[in-house]
Structure 1
Amino acid sequence: MAAFLLRRLFYGLLALWLISTLIFLLSRFLPGSFAAQSILKENDSFYNTGSIESRQAAYQSYLRRTRLDLPLFYFSISSSAQPDTAIQLLQESDKLLLQQLSWHYGNPKLATEYFRNLKNLIKRAGPQAQSEVRVHIQELLQTTDAAKIKKSAAALQQLLGSSTESFQLQQTAEALIYSKQQWKTLLPRFSWHGGRNQFHQWLSQLFQGNLGNSYRDNSSVLDLVLKAIGTTWWVLLLSMLLTTFLALELSILFVKQRAGKWRKTLLPLLFITDRIPVFILALLLLIFLASPDFLQLFPVYGMGAYQPQDQHWLQRFVNLFPYMVLPVVCLVCVNLPYITNQFYWSLSDVSHADFIRTAKAKGLSERQVIRKHMLRNALFPIITLLSDFLPALVGGVVVIETIFAIPGIGRLLIESVQTRDYPVMVGVVLVVALFKVIAHFVSDIFYGLADPRIRQKS
């Protein structure tokens, strides 16, 4: 049994590492970034008070501090026309333009030089440049067409009085156009980055128990996740226990021979409940049970006022209980039909077995037959179902926490995706994957306890 559990634990940890690695790599391919939204975007934020140059400097400093300027993985396979890793320090629009120029003309070195000269000319022209100059600059920032580039570069040289910046821009533009080598886009290029990459830095911190810091406020990701789990945990635990208990009792009731009326009444009701989407059910509960227009029996949003951290867990649970009633009821109503149906069919399959008829022939009561014989032999599909139930609840709680404004793990995940806060996003997904690994490991333990043959084989 111990060897079996150790092997399953090893597979679970391996799966957890593969999932976290995949999520880490995929999160970096999301369009946009927190830095582009908060530093480079001209709005009413703190960074808007500075000039364009100061915002660019703050943006590059931010990328270096968060190590987003490093390559993503240990190696990369790209086209020979792809610019070098210095492109990581550019903002999204500039990065896209440089990549398009490099791919269109197949010469990343000349494309980078042309792009650098264009930026120097924009700095030379300044924000007070005349409208015709701004029109040609905007054209160069949006096009890779050779004719348009030549026309705008020549016009800028005339408008700016043959300045050094405009002369260099025209020279590099002509060199880029006449040295077009588009066939280079077909040649692969393998680059080895060693340990100086984003994944290696993140993995090193992870093995030290550090999930990194949030991009928004530089707070510890581990502290944010643990604080969110402290709120979500009660909702998940109560929902799972209540759903499992009700599903088990209802399925036992349906299996009984004299429960035909209950089956005809409750099964259609469960079917109707299963057709209602979770967000509609949550809104209906809010309207009918937390609105002054109907019955204001429960508080509406927020899981209560501020709770001191040194509070005893029982006292904290009592304070939060009124705020958990509607979210728990919503999760139970959403998951109860499916769980009950699966439990019922598991018991029904076992009810026709020979050993059940033998138990009935011995004169055992219907309650003893169901709970001592039928239920024990139907445990395997039930355990399998419950092992996937907890991770499914974690996924469903995202909608519940958003509607009821619960500061839990689901709401934290939504906020991290919206703001492109990669460390928090990866940390939350890692915790959800950990829930799934733990659930499957616990189910393996129950498999061994339910069936001695598993212990003997292992």
Structure 2
Amino acid sequence: MRNFILRRLLQTIPMLFLTSLLIFMLFALTPGDFIDGNVTLTAQRAAELKAIYGLDQPLLTRYWHWLSQLLQGNLGFSLQYQIPVSQLLNQYIWNSFLLASIAMIFYWGIALAVGVISSLKPYSLFDHIVSVMIFAAMSFPTFFLCLLLIKWFAVDLHWLPVGGMTNTGSDAQGWARIMEVGAHLILPVIVLIMLQAGSLTRYFRASMLDVIKMDFVRTARAKGLRERTVILKHALRNALLPIITLLGFELPGLFSGAIITETVFNWPGAGHIHINSLAARDYPVLMGFTLFLAVLTILGNLIADVLYAWADPRIRVRS
């Protein structure tokens, strides 16, 4: 197991280097930047700013400078917000993590429970109802679903706040602040659950249907084991193996959040900053945020590989 993890770690080094090169070239070769988009600047002042921020240097020179700064933990400087990118992301990214992590706990739990029950009762009334609800929830555009929930629960019923993270002008502390933030979390969390739980439920259902037809499940039942033991201890553990792969994409999702959902609900997260930086062509922020997500994706896949090898020792033998 130690050698397996070491090989995977060594494979990430060239992958990270190539990822950084691809991200830099993608944004560096994009026409225009924050300075070009500022129509109030004179040509002389724009040239001065480009020289100050090193935007007049050759492409490879800029890349090596950016890479050397990255190795020192510096993600760059935001031209729009006039603060370091790492400081900017630190202000907002944990709000996205809070929203996405709570939603993930709920939709993974719901998908697991509903997917297992549906696989045990395939083509039953429950299975058909679940399928209809899943496809109905997945068919709604994100922005429309957000606005619909705001209309029902915030505007018509006045049960929940319209958006934001706290009430306007609020200075609540302690438990009162927790309750206030929790109330603002309900609607965006419901949206993320409705959008994510459906596809995950289908994954669990399909994986369980494949596993419960296998010989080892029939053997476990023939040995006289209780159905609950057969399903939870034998079938479910093996059905989770393909699902582990999906965990590699959950880690960056915890920090990137849902851009549209955060924007509609005015949630102060990384998605909100991403939209603003994209509109202003603040490429240092976009490069730093994209690289951060790429690193999390690689790390998530590494964790998924380790979990897969732990759950199925054959992976370690073949790798």
Q: TM-score, with normalisation over the residues of structure 2?
A: 0.91
**SS of the residue aligned with 1:211?**
coil
RMSD: 2.3
- Report how far residue 455 of structure 1 moved: 4.2
Matched, 1:441 2:302: yes
| Among 429, 432, 445, the residue aligned to 2:293 | 432
Corresponding residue number in structure 1 for 2:284: 423
How many residues were matched structurally? Answer: 317
Unaligned runs of 5+ in 1: 48-54, 74-196
Corresponding residue number in structure 2 for 1:296: 158
1:359–1:436 distance in 2 versus 1, CA, 3 Å? same
- Counting only pairs closer than 5 Å after superposition, residues 232-381 of structure 1 correspond to structure 2 as 232-257=96-121, 260-291=124-155, 294-304=156-166, 318-381=179-242
Corresponding residue number in structure 2 for 1:194: none
Contact preservation (8 Å) 1:19, 1:433:
yes
Matched, 1:19 2:19: yes
Please give the alpha-carbon distance, in whole angstroms, between the structure 1 residues aligned to 2:312 and 2:290: 33
1:220–1:396 distance in 2 versus 1, CA, 3 Å? closer
Name the larger-Rg structure: 1
- Report how far residue 22 of structure 1 moved: 1.2
Corresponding residue number in structure 2 for 1:67: 54
| Among 258, 267, 270, the residue aligned to 1:397 | 258
Matched, 1:34 2:21: no
Please give the alpha-carbon distance, in whole angstroms, between the structure 2 residues aligned to 1:70 and 1:248: 53
- The aligned amino acid for 1:18 is L
Please give the alpha-carbon distance, in whole angstroms, between the structure 2 residues aligned to 1:259 and 1:318: 42
- Report how far residue 222 of structure 1 moved: 0.2
Please give the alpha-carbon distance, in whole angstroms, between the structure 1 residues aligned to 2:67 and 2:122: 59
- The aligned amino acid for 2:59 is L
- Report how far residue 389 of structure 1 moved: 3.8
- Report how far residue 4 of structure 1 moved: 1.2
Corresponding residue number in structure 1 for 2:315: 454
Corresponding residue number in structure 2 for 1:192: none
- Report how far residue 249 of structure 1 moved: 0.4
- The aligned amino acid for 2:84 is S
Identity within the alignment, %: 37
**SS of the residue aligned with 1:287?**
helix
Matched, 1:384 2:248: no
Contact preservation (8 Å) 1:240, 1:390:
no
Contact preservation (8 Å) 2:247, 2:301:
no
Please give the alpha-carbon distance, in whole angstroms, between the structure 2 residues aligned to 1:15 and 1:316: 42
1:261-301 residue CA offsets vs partner (Å, 9 max, x unmatched)? 3112221111211211212111111111111xx11222112
- Counting only pairs closer than 5 Å after superposition, residues 103-122 of structure 1 correspond to structure 2 as none
- Counting only pairs closer than 5 Å after superposition, residues 133-148 of structure 1 correspond to structure 2 as none
Please give the alpha-carbon distance, in whole angstroms, between the structure 2 residues aligned to 1:331 and 1:445: 28
1:230-274 residue CA offsets vs partner (Å, 9 max, x unmatched)? 110011111111111110000111122499231122211112112
1:86-117 residue CA offsets vs partner (Å, 9 max, x unmatched)? xxxxxxxxxxxxxxxxxxxxxxxxxxxxxxxx
- Report how far residue 319 of structure 1 moved: 4.2
1:276–1:216 distance in 2 versus 1, CA, 3 Å? same
- Report how far residue 400 of structure 1 moved: 0.9
Please give the alpha-carbon distance, in whole angstroms, between the structure 1 residues aligned to 2:170 and 2:59: 40
- The aligned amino acid for 1:275 is S
- Report how far residue 56 of structure 1 moved: 2.9
1:321–1:438 distance in 2 versus 1, CA, 3 Å? farther
- Report how far residue 357 of structure 1 moved: 0.7
Please give the alpha-carbon distance, in whole angstroms, between the structure 1 residues aligned to 2:109 and 2:91: 28
**SS of the residue aligned with 1:301?**
coil
1:138-166 residue CA offsets vs partner (Å, 9 max, x unmatched)? xxxxxxxxxxxxxxxxxxxxxxxxxxxxx
Contact preservation (8 Å) 1:16, 1:430:
no
Contact preservation (8 Å) 1:256, 1:366:
no
Please give the alpha-carbon distance, in whole angstroms, between the structure 2 residues aligned to 1:59 and 1:298: 47
Corresponding residue number in structure 2 for 1:112: none
Contact preservation (8 Å) 1:16, 1:434:
yes
Q: TM-score, with normalisation over the residues of structure 1?
A: 0.65
